[in-house]
Structure 1
Amino acid sequence: ALENRPLTRWMQYLREGYTVCVDCQPPAMNSVSLRCSGDGLDSDGNQTLHWQAIGNPRCQGTWKKVRRVDQCSCPAVHSFIFI
C-alpha cells in the first residue's frame, strides 16, 4: 500500500480539494529573480498551473494558487518545495 512506502507517502496529500503549502528555497530559487520556476507568481487564482514530481515524469498534475504569503513556514505535512 502507498502509506507503507515512505518515499511515496507524500503523494497521499496531493488529492483534488486538498490545500497544501508550497515553498521556494535555494538552490531551486533563481538568484536574480528570487523565484522558483512554476511558482505561479503571475497567476490570478483561476489559472490552472502544472506540476511534475522529480524523477518520475509520469507523476504530474495541475494546481491553482490560493494565496501568496511573503513570510511563512510550511507545516510538516501538506508541504512541498518548488524547484
Structure 2
Amino acid sequence: VGGGLYHVSDSFGGNQGGAGGGVNRVYAPAWTRVDLFASWDISETASLQLNVQNAGDEDYILRTNGVHHADVAPGRQAILTLNLRY
C-alpha cells in the first residue's frame, strides 16, 4: 500500500493579445494531485495491483503550450493489473 503527492505551482501560460504578445500574462493555477496504489499476492505466482491516479478527482491544467492553449488533466483513473510469474 502506498501513494504519492504531486504539486505544481502556477505555470506561465502565455500572453493575452495574440501573436506578438500582449501586456496581460496568463497563468495556469497551482494544483495538487494524490495517487494511491495497493498490491495483493494471490499466490506465489500471481498478484493483483490497483493504481488510482488523481484519487480526489481534481480538475486542473496539466500543461500549457503557447498562447491560449492548455491541456486539462483527466479525472480519476483506476487501473487493475493481474501479474503472473512463471
TM-score (norm 1): 0.23
Larger Rg over CA atoms: 2
Higher normalized helix content (fraction of residues): 1
Higher RCO, 1 vs 2 (CA within 8 Å, ≥6 residues apart) = 1
TM-score between both structures, scaled by the size of structure 2: 0.23
